[in-house]
Amino acid sequence: MSVILCDFDGTIVPEDVTDALLERFALPEWQILEQDWRAGRIGSRACMAGQVELLRVTTEELNRYLDSVEMDPAFPAFVAHVLDLGWKLVVVSDGIDYAIHRILRRYGLGHIPVLANHLECLAGGRYRLTFPHANQDCKTASGTCKCGIARREEMAGPVQILVGDGTSDFCVATAVQVVLAKDRLLHHCRMQGLPHLPFTDFDTCLAILASPAFAIWRTRAGLSHSPF
Ligand SMILES: [Mg+2]
Ligand SMILES: [Zn+2]
């Protein structure tokens, strides 16, 4: 079965939900860790573990924010199209599983598998982040190693496609046949010469999957080249 690996923050939802939570609810020191990560001094795993410990918010407040987050309006139609093709769609994210599950459920998409960092709620409005999909062998030091996920047996298929926008997608961009890319990931694919197509939103992604060129390519799935 072919697989679409889909990023969440900046892709399914326009904003970065982790950053938005920190801006609203974390002690100000979270920005020091952010600077360390941006400067390359720490990986996103260490960065987010420290940042999530700085959250001070009740689950009610947290939920109230999450319930205001808007999804790309075309994403549900994109999911339906992918499932019609008989393909699998998996959300792979270096963000927070609790947030992703809650937002997907509100749009009736709670059935989509989500592989992301795990949020534990502690007493007193505090939280801890754990990393069930980390990978010591990946040089990105992210919380969720997307290239490790793509190599798993249950993710194997004639075609693997990545949809994403950011640095958390870099490691897996070399592991799939085609990348649908925007923003920093688009720049990365251009610089690295990776097979990719630019997209702006899920209307574009849907048009790409419904295009005749894609249908031809799909029937030849397994070939190393793509028509794009
Ligand atoms: Mg992203
Ligand atoms: Zn990786």
- pLDDT, tens only, 36-52: 999 999 999 999 999 99
Per the domain annotation, does 128 fall within a domain? yes
b/e 174-213 (16+ beta carbons within 10 angstroms → b)? ebbbbbbbbbbbbebbeeeebebbebeebebbbebbeeee
User: Could you tell me the distance, in angstroms and rounded to a whole number, from the CA of residue 163 to the centre of ligand 1?
Assistant: 9
Q: What pLDDT score does 212 carry?
A: 84
Per the domain annotation, does 51 fall within a domain? yes
User: Could you tell me the distance, in angstroms and rounded to a whole number, from the CA of residue 64 to the centre of ligand 2?
Assistant: 33
Which ligand does the CA of 181 lie closest to?
1
> What CATH number has the domain bearing residue 201?
3.40.50.1000
Q: What pLDDT score does 131 carry?
A: 97
User: Could you tell me the distance, in angstroms and rounded to a whole number, from the CA of residue 142 to the centre of ligand 2?
Assistant: 7
Banded pLDDT at 109 (limits 50, 70, 90): very high
The total number of structural domains that make up the chain:
1
pLDDT, one tens digit per residue, over 170-196 is 999 999 989 999 999 999 999 999 999
Per the domain annotation, does 225 fall within a domain? no
User: Could you tell me the distance, in angstroms and rounded to a whole number, from the CA of residue 72 to the centre of ligand 1?
Assistant: 13
Q: How far apart are CA 119 and CA 52, in angstroms?
A: 9
Q: Which residues contact 114 (CB under 8 A, 6 or more apart)?
A: 8, 90, 91, 93, 97, 100, 101, 104
User: Could you tell me the distance, in angstroms and rounded to a whole number, from the CA of residue 143 to the centre of ligand 2?
Assistant: 9
Question: What mean pLDDT is reported for the chain?
Answer: 93
**Domain span at 156:** 3-219
Q: What is the pTM of this model?
A: 0.93
Which ligand does the CA of 168 lie closest to?
1
User: Could you tell me the distance, in angstroms and rounded to a whole number, from the CA of residue 221 to the centre of ligand 1?
Assistant: 27
Per the domain annotation, does 10 fall within a domain? yes
Closest to 115 (Cα-Cα) out of 2, 23, 3: 3
Q: Is the pLDDT of residue 59 over 60?
A: yes
Per the domain annotation, does 227 fall within a domain? no
Banded pLDDT at 220 (limits 50, 70, 90): low
Banded pLDDT at 158 (limits 50, 70, 90): confident
Per the domain annotation, does 141 fall within a domain? yes
Banded pLDDT at 215 (limits 50, 70, 90): confident
Q: What pLDDT score does 227 carry?
A: 47
Which ligand does the CA of 94 lie closest to?
1
Q: Is the pLDDT of residue 18 over 90?
A: yes
User: Could you tell me the distance, in angstroms and rounded to a whole number, from the CA of residue 213 to the centre of ligand 2?
Assistant: 30
Which ligand does the CA of 10 lie closest to?
1
Banded pLDDT at 224 (limits 50, 70, 90): very low
pLDDT over 90, % of the chain: 84
Per the domain annotation, does 224 fall within a domain? no
Per the domain annotation, does 81 fall within a domain? yes
pLDDT, one tens digit per residue, over 122-136 is 999 999 999 999 998
User: Could you tell me the distance, in angstroms and rounded to a whole number, from the CA of residue 49 to the centre of ligand 2?
Assistant: 18
